[in-house]
Structure 1
Amino acid sequence: MDLSMNCLLGPTGHIPQFLGSMENLKYINLSGIPFTGRVPSQLGNLSKLQHLDLGQVDYSGLSSMDITWLTKLPLLQHLSMSGIDLSMIADWLHTLNMIPSLRVINLVACSLDTASQSLPYLNLTKLEKLDLSYNNLDHSIASSWFWKVTTLKYLSLRLNQLFGKFPDALGNMTSLKVLDLSENNLNKTGNLKNLLINLCHLGILDLSHNSMNGDIVVLMEGLQCAPEKLQELHFSDNNFMGTLPNVVGEFSSLNILDMCNNNLVGLIPLGLWNLVRLTYLDLSMNQLN
């Protein structure tokens, strides 16, 4: 059942409880419907459900104080609750950890205040996509629980006030294809090269809008595992220094290269002309000559 992006609010504006009686449903998409009120626990009756998307577009109106009903959905693979206020649920991770079938978790803008919970045992061994963007995590990035999930292919932590040193466990995330750490307070890049060099499937890396101040040459050397797979590099609004190396010309699949507003110096490397798939290039607000 896909009713997404409509205005099917009914007389109350709430998600109807009777949906919990449709016990054969495997797929529900109610995203973009501007519901208000609480998410009904009756959805926990849908024991055959594999896909549940309740995501809100305007990030307002829906809330939940209890998501333990999700543990009654043993086949659930895709969960999206973006824009739903979950600020009153401290144990959200432990609840989700009881659903080992999960492959996608989307909790964008859910007013979560931490991802540094400890897990005695990780059950999310099939998880491929995790999006915790636009929350209020505001803690050391190294203390986060998700570094144990080596099956992740997509990890987005955009705009979370995360800070500190990257954990060594990042080097074990060898399945990652998309890593978005933009708009945080990350400034320690000392070990980043040695961690990135193991991420041989990486296609998109977004480090923009942080306070990173390392040598751009060192960072580029960390992306040499499979340079032909890189498609997007977003490094704008940092304090990266040094001269953009000619090795950038080896990133043959690159579509986007955004280096604006850093402290790069010297010549624009001739290797750039090898990037025949490039559609967006921004080197503005540097000291290139």
Structure 2
Amino acid sequence: MTSLQVLDLSFNYYDDDYDDGKDRIMTMDLKNLCNLEVLNLDLSHLYGDVAELFRNLPRCSPNKLQELDLGWNNLTGMLPRWIGQFMSLVVLNLGWNYITRHDPYEIGKLSNLTDLDLYTIKLDGTITEEHFASARSLQYIDLSNNALKIEISSDWQPPSTLEYVSFASCQMGPLFPGWLQWNVNITHLDISSAGIADRIPQWFSDVFSNVWFMDISNNQLNRTLPADMGSMSLLQLYLSSNKLTGQIPTLPQNLTWLDLSNNLLLGLTGHSAIGSANLRQLSLFSNRLAGHIPESFCKFQRLGVLDLSNNFLEGELPSCLRVMEFMKFVALSNNSLSGKFPSFLQKLTNVKFLDLSQNKFSGRLPMWIGS
């Protein structure tokens, strides 16, 4: 089958109830498939030495292999240095395996590479700008959950235009990675658990104006949130478990998921500061929010998760919250909320979790709570 251009054996996984539980070793010899452009073996329950698998790939000259997907398998061993010979590669996906490599500089030689996925394998060492010096086409990069240290100068301008950037659990701090400011086309940014102990830079809102998914949680970001975030395109924002202080400014109006929990935030400014009626999840627990829950919360009619626990909120709950028919998770514990058991909860028939403990509610539990 030497004319074969695409070979897709992906998603051939076994059912634990009907299979003997054995993974499959890659025994195919593909060296003579000189026209092969795409090889997709994602989630095929392959195991064995990744170097041996690479030896079985087409080694013709010129090599035409453009897409290699080996993700979600049980491949082990060390990534071979001669991977840099596959110069036609555009997509390389090795994520979710047990592949090791110290300082994988060979991948940086793949000048045509647009998508690089090395999520959750066993890489270690230090990544510098030299690793990406030849990566002129790179748009998608995921190095998350590896023992990597990212040491790139703030002045360095990448040779490519990055759009999807994920370095979760890679060590990038303590300073905020300034080299990201040259990537104004980023739409997905995950630098969570990256050891960043710095304030949010002034260029933040402008540079990341196109980002729709942002996760910078579990760092040590300090001081206040930028006042000009309202103009950003964010749909999902995760900044939990930092050391952010001050008031919550006006945030993007398209937000659907917002998590600012476990910070030192004091409260809200204005009446529509934290998103639009499209908000699905709002997590502000473990801050220093005080005062009444504002009536403006009632506009979040599609809200499914509301967590305001462990703050300093007081007063009665706004009765207009009864319009939140999609609500499934309500956590308001450890505040100073008061009044009778909120009768509007009778309308929220989809609620599966309700925590009103450690407040100042009074009176009797209503009869309808059992139905």
The interval holding the TM-score normalised by the smaller chain is 0.7 to 0.9
TM-score (norm 1): 0.83
Q: Which has the higher contact order (CA 8 A, sep 6+)?
A: 1
Tell me which protein shows more strand as a share of its residues: 2
TM-score (norm 2): 0.66
Pairwise CA distance, 1:115: 4.2
Name the CA distance, whole Å, in 2 between partners of 1:219 and 1:16: 57
Give the SS at the match of 2:98: coil
Pairwise CA distance, 1:268: 1.9
Deviation string for 1:164-205 (max 9, x for gaps)? 122234344x2111111100011211xx33x32xx1211111
Pairwise CA distance, 1:143: 5.6
Runs of at least 5 residues in structure 2 that lack an aligned partner in the other structure: 1-67, 339-371
Corresponding residue of 1:38:
102
Distance 1:141-1:220 versus aligned 2 partners, 3 A rule: same
Runs of 4+ deviating beyond 6 Å: none
Name the CA distance, whole Å, in 2 between partners of 1:64 and 1:157: 21
Give the SS at the match of 1:239: coil
The within-5 A match list for 1:100-139 is 100-116=160-176, 118=178, 122-139=181-198
Corresponding residue of 1:205:
258
Corresponding residue of 2:289:
240
Distance 1:204-1:8 versus aligned 2 partners, 3 A rule: same
Give the SS at the match of 1:20: helix
Aligned residues: CA RMSD? 2.5
Mean Cα displacement is larger for which, 178-187 or 48-57?
48-57
Give the SS at the match of 1:202: coil
Give the SS at the match of 1:223: coil
The within-5 A match list for 1:43-82 is 43-56=107-120, 61-82=123-144
Question: Which entry has the higher C-alpha Rg, 1 or 2?
Answer: 2
Give the SS at the match of 1:276: coil
Name the CA distance, whole Å, in 1 between partners of 2:200 and 2:298: 31
Corresponding residue of 1:156:
215
Distance 1:137-1:99 versus aligned 2 partners, 3 A rule: same
Name the CA distance, whole Å, in 2 between partners of 1:116 and 1:61: 23
Name the CA distance, whole Å, in 2 between partners of 1:144 and 1:34: 38
Letter in 1 for 2:198: H
- Asked if the contact 2:199/2:221 (under 8 Å) is kept, the reply is yes
Deviation string for 1:210-246 (max 9, x for gaps)? 11122x5x4653136xx22211111011111111123
- Asked if the contact 1:142/1:166 (under 8 Å) is kept, the reply is no
Runs of at least 5 residues in structure 1 that lack an aligned partner in the other structure: none
Kindly tell me the number of residue pairs found equivalent between the two proteins: 271
Corresponding residue of 2:4:
none
Give the SS at the match of 1:8: strand
Corresponding residue of 1:18:
82
Name the CA distance, whole Å, in 2 between partners of 1:74 and 1:221: 42
Tell me which protein shows more helix as a share of its residues: 1
